[in-house]
Copies of this chain bind each other. A is one copy, B any other.
C-alpha cells in the first residue's frame, strides 16, 4: 500500500526547481521502491504561492519557473502575493521542504515556516542553511519533542552525505578531527589557479563566466558559505553547540600563485579547508586556506569536487568526495531526506 506524503515547498529558485525536475523523473520509482506517493500540495516563491490539496503538477510548475513566471500564476491554484508563512498556515501537509534562500540575519522566510511545521508535527527537510545556522538546538529539540524528522543532508557539500556519514556512520566512535572542502566555488577557483597558473582574479572571472561564482562572490570566496556548513557539522556530528561567531574564518582572496609555488615545493597544494580539531577545550573550528599534501584525500580533489575527512578513535580515517558538475545533487539529497524521513 502506498503512503500519500503531502508536502509543501518553500523556494523555487535553482534548488527548488531542480527538485521538481528530479521528482518529475523519479516519482514513480520512489512509489515503487519505497511505497511513498509524494504529492506537492503547496509551493511558494517571492511573488506568491500556489495551493492544491489534491496535488500540483510538478512538471508544470518547473516549466512556469523556467519561463520566468511566479508560481502564483498557476491556473486555479495561484495566490498572488501570498507569503511563505501564509501558504504554510493555509495548507495541510505531512512534510515541509525548505529550499528558500539562506538568510543569516533572522533566517526568514524559512525560520517561521520551519517552526510552524515542526510545531504541527510535520517532518522538515532543509536545503536552506539559515535556520540551522541560527537556531540548531531549538529546531532539533523541537523536532525531537514531536518525534518527527528534521533532516538536512543536502546542506553540507551538495549531495555528499557529509552529515549522514558523520552522524549515523560514526555512531559509537569518537571523531577527533574533521577536514572538509564544503564550498564548490572556491575549490573550483583554487583548482584552476593551480592547474592553469592563473591569478585569483583570473580564476574568479573564469568561474563567474562559467556561472559557478555569483556576480557578488563574497559569501563563497570569503569563506562564509563553508563556515555555515561547518557550524552545521559542529552542531550535528560533533554535538558542540556552535554559532557562526565561534569560528575563525579566512577566505581565499589573499591566495597567490606564490603560495601555490611554495606549496608545490613540498608536494602540496592550497585548499580552503573547514577544520574541526579536538582540543582540551572542545573542538576548535576554522575555515582557512590550508596547504595539504597532493595525495591527501582533500588535496586530490578536482575542480568539480567537494569532500570531507573524518578522523576517529576506532573507525580509522574515512573520507568521502562528490563530483558534481552542477547543483542538481543537492536537490537529489533533499529527495533522499524525504524518503529517509519514512524509512
4 closest A-B pairs by CB: A316-B324, A172-B335, A161-B169, A314-B332
Cβ distance A20 to chain B, nearest Cβ, rounded Å: 12
User: Within the assembled complex, what's the spacing in Å between the Cα atoms of A317 and B314?
Assistant: 27
A148 at the interface (CB under 8 A from B): no
Q: Which size bracket describes the interface of A in this complex? A: 35 or more
Cβ distance A263 to chain B, nearest Cβ, rounded Å: 18
A256 at the interface (CB under 8 A from B): no
Asked whether, in the complex, the Cβ of B164 is within 8 Å of the Cβ of A338, the reply is no
Asked whether, in the complex, the Cβ of B34 is within 8 Å of the Cβ of A339, the reply is no
Asked whether, in the complex, the Cβ of A34 is within 8 Å of the Cβ of B171, the reply is yes
Least CB separation from A317: chain B residue:
B323
A29 at the interface (CB under 8 A from B): yes
A319 at the interface (CB under 8 A from B): yes
User: Within the assembled complex, what's the spacing in Å between the Cα atoms of A321 and B284?
Assistant: 25
Cβ distance A118 to chain B, nearest Cβ, rounded Å: 19
User: Within the assembled complex, what's the spacing in Å between the Cα atoms of A40 and B174?
Assistant: 22
Contacts of A169 on B, CB cut-off 8 Å? 153, 161, 164-165, 336
Asked whether, in the complex, the Cβ of A171 is within 8 Å of the Cβ of B339, the reply is yes
A163-184 contacts to B, CB under 8 A, are 164-165, 168-174
A141 at the interface (CB under 8 A from B): no
A78 at the interface (CB under 8 A from B): no
Least CB separation from A160: chain B residue:
B318
Given A164-B168, A339-B172 in contact, is the A329-B316 Cβ separation under 8 Å? yes
Given A295-B300, A343-B171 in contact, is the A159-B318 Cβ separation under 8 Å? yes
Least CB separation from A328: chain B residue:
B314
